[in-house]
Amino acid sequence: MNPLSYCLVVRCGPNQQSQALSAFEFARELLAQGHRLERVFFYQQGVLTASSLRTPAQGELNITHQWQQLQEQHPFGLDVCIAAALQNGIVDENESQRYQLHSHNLASGFELAGLGQLASATATCDRVITFGANV
Amino acid sequence: MSSLIVMRSTPYGNTNAKDALDVALTLAAFEQEPALLYEGRGVLQLLLSSQMDTPFKHLGKILSALPMYDIEHIYIDKDSLTECGIDAKQLQNLPVQCRLLDATQVSDLFQQHQHVMVF
């Protein structure tokens, strides 16, 4: 088997459960099969996955934690589109200072990034797979 | 190593149309020459004069910027126009040049691109 390099694009929110979960399970499985995951790019509603303030009901899966744990085992980028993040109230410390907001909530392991990261992934990855496209 | 961006959503029902154009402009800025295909209800995005003033950015403004970014491969699925009751003449004043494709040509277009992103 030839290992392939992947970029996943997550466009659904963390509460669109089956789609959000499919993205995560696809990532876990491709790594288990020896492929390379270059980055996961969170776009549109997907950026909400990166909020450290998400508190799912007791006994329910926290997809944010799942991504963080997977990334600790296999280093890959968890890139959050900065424009979509700001629109949806996801900010890191820098952006919080820049816009004089009273707090920041970007979960650890996630990074704010421009669409350029997606462009670089389409240039270098063998496969770009989108999850949660609302069309 | 090229990407095809498929425009399949109505113009302002959600942010797909604008988000797709943002991706296209970024790919172009990185010199990847993305192609755009309007199909399904996405062809409604091209009826610019019928789009009322909205608090959102008018898609026509973004469309007029495409040639500046050297995005020149813009295609429209002919069957989708028919399904939406649009006459090709209604698209004469578009700020960009588009090519009408039949079903076989649309299928070829998907084959020709390494990455396809549907919005």
CB pairs under 8 A between A and B: 46
Q: What is the pLDDT, as a whole number, of residue A82?
A: 98
> Closest Cα partner for A70 from A27, A8, A36?
A27
Q: What is the pLDDT of residues A45-90, one digit of tens each?
A: 999 999 999 999 998 999 999 999 999 999 999 999 999 999 999 9
A-chain residues within 8 Å CB-CB of B19? 43-44, 84
Residues A84-106, mean pLDDT to the nearest whole number: 97
Q: What is the pLDDT, as a whole number, of residue B50?
A: 72
Residues 6 or more apart whose CB falls under 8 angstroms from that of B111 comprise none
Q: What is the pLDDT, as a whole number, of residue A66?
A: 97
Residues A100-112, mean pLDDT to the nearest whole number: 97
DSSP assignments along A97-130, one per residue: HHTT-S---BPTTEEEE-HHHHHHHHHH-SEEEE
The list of chain B residues with pLDDT below 50 reads none
Question: Cα separation of B60 and A28, whole Å?
Answer: 41
* Domain chopping of chain B, boundaries: 3-118
Please say whether the beta carbons of A46 and A11 come within 8 A: yes
**Vertex B37, ends A84 and B35: CA angle to 5°?**
80
Q: What is the pLDDT, as a whole number, of residue A134?
A: 76
Interface membership of B99 toward A (CB under 8 Å):
no
Domains identified in chain A, total number:
1
CATH architecture entry for B3-118: 3-Layer(aba) Sandwich (3.40)
Query: What is the token pair recorded at B40?
Result: 């399904």
Residue A125 annotated to the active site: no
* pLDDT at position A135 over 70: no
Residues A26-47, mean pLDDT to the nearest whole number: 97
* pLDDT at position A92 over 70: yes
Instruction: Give the Å distances, CA to CA, from A93 to A68, A98, A111, B100.
Output: 19, 9, 11, 48
Q: What is the pLDDT, as a whole number, of residue B1?
A: 54
Interface membership of B19 toward A (CB under 8 Å):
yes
The β-bridge partners of A37 are A6
Which residue is catalytic, options A7, A12, A81, A125? A81
The pTM of the full predicted model, rounded to 2 decimals, is: 0.92
Mean pLDDT of the residues in chain A: 95
> Closest Cα partner for B72 from B93, B98, B108?
B98
Please say whether the beta carbons of A27 and A40 come within 8 A: yes
Query: Domain containing A66 — which CATH number?
Result: 3.40.1260.10
Q: What is the pLDDT, as a whole number, of residue B118?
A: 96
Question: Cα separation of A30 and A23, whole Å?
Answer: 11
Query: What is the token pair recorded at A55?
Result: 């508190």
- Which residues form the domain of A31? 5-131
